[in-house]
Structure 1
Amino acid sequence: MKILIILFICGLIDVTMTTECVVSPNNINLGLYGRVCQSSTFPIIPRPGPEKGVDGISETNNTISPCVITNLESQPWFTLDLEESYFIGLVRLVLRTDDCWDCMNDVQIQIGDSPDRNNPVCATVTNVSRSKPLLSFFCNGMQGRYVTLIHAGHSGIISFCEVKVYQQLPGQQP
């Protein structure tokens, strides 16, 4: 019953972005256990490598705790390899609130079993706000091993503080 209420409140009818929903305590962040890589790493100290995106730290200020930052380039990407395929129910992004807080506008969240960054799109990040750095995207049980954040088809920078990926648990409705 609690799940149905949460689904109703969050409007989980199709792929939805919200900042209000709660994750079930029985569900774990799969991102903490995956492998990560990215198209490039911006050359500053401390190094803002891909591991910063799944370190469990949700600090939104890069000067306090380093976040993921790629170079400005054509179609930059960040990929989380979950090492096996899951039915993904929810992807949460913790965005930066300092510089580059809007770098993730128009970034696609792709989920699938192909490592080539050409998987189906769960959602596209839009309407980024410095005052609301936690974004939630419902992927309705999309199946995949790879979760990729990509500026598909254009140049940009990938920069965020944390990505959290939760599987769709049995009995949860998309």
Structure 2
Amino acid sequence: MLVFYAATCLWLVVEAGVTGVHNVALNGVATQSSNRQKAGNAIDGITGDKSCSWTEVEADPWWRVDLREKHWIGDINITNTNRKDMAGIAGAEIHIGDSDRNHGNDNPKCATVETIQLGATQTFPCNGMQGRYVNIIRPGNDKQLSLCEVGVFGQPLFVIEACE
């Protein structure tokens, strides 16, 4: 005799409020399209030029932090390098979502970086977008992407599963 058990599950996503928002990128894992300087430098909490990430000059360079679980994202802070010869941020796009397809670059867009002055930090509001991956891609040929620090300010989303 065959017995089948069917479970009905209810998933409840509890969205965190704005209290307790902190830089969740510090516990993430960073990767990028090429490694002139390692991707993890952009999430080490150090904003100086000795700890930046840079890609090679290439087509569509990208950088990604895996937050390891889904998060509510309030703001993204990006700190540019002080070095004019290494500055590569103008025109970059910030994407947030749960897919790692195309390295996460197909996720919904939060903002486009017009420019950030050398050595400056700029804040990009993402208004509560949700996702596990935060990607920065600089579309185009012969581009380099440089990031001295990326702060992702948010909170984890808690998923509660109840099955019968």
Q: TM-score, normalised by structure 2?
A: 0.76
Tell me the residue number matched to 1:39.
33
Whichever residue aligns with residue 28 of structure 2, its letter is G
Q: Which has the higher contact order (CA 8 A, sep 6+)?
A: 2
Query: Greater share of strand residues, 1 or 2?
Result: 2
Query: How big is the shift at 1:138?
Result: 0.2
**Contact 1:95-1:101 within 8 A present in 2 as well:** no
Query: How big is the shift at 1:127?
Result: 3.0
Whichever residue aligns with residue 39 of structure 2, its letter is P
Equivalent pairs counted in the alignment come to 137
Query: How big is the shift at 1:128?
Result: 2.4
Classify 1:25/1:53 alpha carbon distance in 2 versus 1 (closer, same or farther; 3 Å): farther
Task: Report the structure number with the largest CA radius of gyration.
Answer: 2
Q: How does 1:18-33 map to 2 (within 5 A)?
A: 26-33=20-27
Tell me the residue number matched to 1:51.
40
| C-alpha separation in 2, matches of 1:149 and 1:136 | 14
| C-alpha separation in 2, matches of 1:72 and 1:163 | 20
What are structure 1's unaligned runs of at least 5 residues? Answer: 1-23, 43-47
What are structure 2's unaligned runs of at least 5 residues? Answer: 1-17, 158-164
Whichever residue aligns with residue 56 of structure 1, its letter is G
Q: How does 1:1-174 map to 2 (within 5 A)?
A: 26-42=20-36, 48-59=37-48, 62=49, 65-100=50-85, 102-116=87-101, 117-130=105-118, 133-167=120-154
Deviates more, 1:148-157 or 1:76-85: 148-157
Whichever residue aligns with residue 30 of structure 1, its letter is V
RMSD over aligned Cα atoms: 2.1
Query: How big is the shift at 1:167?
Result: 1.1
